Amino acid sequence: MYDVVIVGAGPAGISLAVEALEAGISHENLLILEKEKEHAFTIKKFYPDAKLVTANYKGMEPKCEGLLCMTDLPKSDVIDFLDRTIETYRLPVHYEEQVYTIYEDIEKECFVVKTSRASYETKIVVIAIGVLGKPKKPDYPLPSSLSERILFDVTSRAVKNEHVLIVGGGDSAAEYAQYLLQFGNTITLSYRRERFERMNLINRRTIEELERLGIITLRYNSHIRGVEDKEGKPLVHFEEPPTPVIFDRVVYALGGSSPKNFLESIGIAFDGPQPIVNEHGETSIPGIFLVGDLVHYPKGGSIITAFNSARRAMEAICSRYLHCTLRKEG
């Protein structure tokens, strides 16, 4: 029987494990389950390589409450920091082990966490799976023959000297555009609204300046009706002229859909699109906590808010369940 099983080894899961170990939970009583081969998969997969990871993301105050903290750093340094954290604390992570469901064993008074490989019994479950597990897809169907040409990130394929359409209007769309420009690509950005409202100021200014200089093409108020396979390339039908247009690639940056089905199948209550949690991230099922991006759905959070949510969850886990004492920060 574990004390705490953490689902997901991103910033939130890693910081929860650090807080737990520092509060006196032993390595033997703690387990992290990660579905991918490596930790922090979201950062590795979705961030462009040269990205500066900002502590103040989406205007969220970069004030650290717990043991883990970060300043503005290049992507590689953030990954190094998390690598070192896992190594220094000898975090017990099982990789390539996806959690499929979680249920309560009333008789044994514990939760059972079922994965692709095994079942684990635990007193507390902390779900730290983020919101980006499944990228949001458009409403129209995408031809399966174009799976190499239609992407949902910019790191899974090398894209060079191509004519690329990016669909989306948030920070990811802006950062994908800046990243792909470095490799000789010609960028068109399609956004359904008349101006960028979701981008941070730096990204918005950069994108607008790139358009002013004629380096990228912005299509505001742009609606796509469908995508067709035209001799192996995406032929994109817009509602507005010019249409249709052939691209070498289309990259969707529409954000992530909440793993609502997963949480609901566990029995966690929702209020509209949001899972109901208290200030410690505890769900409608006492003993099951949400941390990281899941707590901030649908806006999504930042790395520091993920660290902080882990601290807040651990406060309640210690005081209400495991009778441990949190280590003071610094």
Ligand X SMILES: Cc1cc2nc3c(=O)[nH]c(=O)nc-3n(C[C@H](O)[C@H](O)[C@H](O)COP(=O)(O)OP(=O)(O)OC[C@H]3O[C@@H](n4cnc5c(N)ncnc54)[C@H](O)[C@@H]3O)c2cc1C
Binding site for ligand X (CB under 6 A): 7-13, 33-36, 40-43, 46-47, 53-54, 57, 98-99, 128-130, 132-133, 172, 175, 292-293, 300-304, 306
Q: How far is the CB of 98 from ligand X (least distance, A)?
A: 4
DSSP run (H or E) holding 19: helix 11-22
| Residue number, 247 or 307, with CB nearest to ligand X | 307
| Residue number, 146 or 290, with CB nearest to ligand X | 290
Q: How far is the CB of 147 from ligand X (least distance, A)?
A: 21
| Residue number, 34 or 315, with CB nearest to ligand X | 34
Q: How far is the CB of 220 from ligand X (least distance, A)?
A: 21
Q: Which of 48, 9, 10, 49 is nearest to 31 (CA)?
A: 9
| Residue number, 182 or 325, with CB nearest to ligand X | 182
Tell me if residue 269 falls in helix, strand or coil. coil
- How many residues are listed for the chain in this entry? 330
Angle of helix 303-316 relative to helix 11-22, nearest 10 degrees, comes to 40
Helices (H), 185-293: 201-212, 260-266
Q: How far is the CB of 148 from ligand X (least distance, A)?
A: 21
| Residue number, 48 or 287, with CB nearest to ligand X | 48
Give exposure, 105-138, as e/b (b: 16+ Cβ within 10 Å).
eeeeebbbbebeeeebebbbbbbbbbbbbebeee
**Count of beta carbons in the 10 Å neighbourhood of residue 239:** 11
Rounded to whole angstroms, how far apart are CA atoms 189 and 166? 5
| Residue number, 22 or 34, with CB nearest to ligand X | 34
Rounded to whole angstroms, how far apart are CA atoms 47 and 55? 14
CA dihedral 260, 263, 268, 273 (to 10 degrees): -10
Q: How far is the CB of 84 from ligand X (least distance, A)?
A: 17
| Residue number, 41 or 247, with CB nearest to ligand X | 41
Q: How far is the CB of 14 from ligand X (least distance, A)?
A: 7
| Residue number, 239 or 279, with CB nearest to ligand X | 279
**Count of beta carbons in the 10 Å neighbourhood of residue 186:** 16
Q: What are the respective helix, strand and coil percentages of the chain, to the nearest 5?
A: 30, 25, 45
First to last CA, the chain: 32
Rounded to whole angstroms, how far apart are CA atoms 209 and 101? 47
Q: How far is the CB of 237 from ligand X (least distance, A)?
A: 27
Q: How far is the CB of 38 from ligand X (least distance, A)?
A: 8
The one-letter amino acid at 319:
S
